[in-house]
Amino acid sequence: VIAGGGILGNSIAYYLAKRSVSVTLIDPVGIAPAASAKAGGFLARDWRDDTPLEELHRTSFGLHEELAKEFGPDKIDYRRLTCAAVAVDG
């Protein structure tokens, strides 16, 4: 039994189910009822480079692309963009 239908509860349920573990997900309001259903995401692969979180961050970044391929990018509103940082003096 997983208590909480937000992004963490759903992620745990999904990966357990992929391993053939029977799961029950409960939430008093519903699936993704709050911030998990409302938040727009912006990910950058290199934001945590040269920190203790670099490997975890890059793995997580890659998982988003894997999930988009598995479910279809349109179903999870995933799109990969190339961005650049520009320094402005003054």
Please list the rounded mean pLDDT of every run of 10 residues in the chain (90 residues): 90 94 93 72 82 91 88 83 83
Q: For residue 77, what pLDDT is reported? A: 79
The pTM (predicted TM-score) of the whole model is 0.67
Given the DSSP bridges, would you call strands 2-3 and 25-26 parallel, antiparallel or unpaired? Answer: parallel
Torsion of CA 40, 43, 48, 54, to 10 degrees: 120
Burial 9-46 (b: 16+ CB within 10 A, else e): bbeebeeeeeeeeeeebebeeeebeeebeeeeeeeeee
- What's the confidence (pLDDT) of residue 37? 66
pLDDT at 43: 77
Residues 6+ apart with CB under 8 A from 67: 76, 78
